[in-house]
């Protein structure tokens, strides 16, 4: 698998997770605080997962151990 394909798949997975979260929060008529927390957590998770993908496909000399 190429880095681009892995990044796109990770993006699509996070997009699905975000849509489901928004639908659930909307159905529950959640407060603004709940929306804010959900968005921050999902943004952090997305950044973490994308950094793992980038480090997985980085050239060996750029990897940290």
CA distance 21 to 46: 14
What secondary structure does DSSP assign to 2-65, as a single string? -HHHHHHHHHHHHHHHHHHHHHHHHHTT--HHHHHHHHHHHHHHHHHHHHHHHHHHS-GGG---
Q: Residue 30: its pLDDT value, please?
A: 93
pLDDT greater at residue 38 or residue 59: 38
Residue 50 near residue 15 (C-beta atoms within 8 A):
no
**Residue 55 in this model has a pLDDT that exceeds 90:** no
Q: What is the pLDDT of residues 8-34, one digit of tens each?
A: 999 999 999 999 999 999 999 999 999
DSSP state of 1: -
């Amino acid at each position: 698998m190429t880095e681009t394909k892995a990044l796109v798949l990770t993006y699509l997975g996070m997009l699905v997770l975000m849509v489901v979260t928004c639908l659930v929060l909307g159905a529950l008529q959640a407060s603004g605080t709940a929306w804010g927390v959900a968005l921050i957590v999902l943004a952090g998770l997305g950044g973490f997962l994308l950094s793992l993908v980038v480090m997985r496909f980085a050239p060996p000399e750029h990897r940290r151990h």
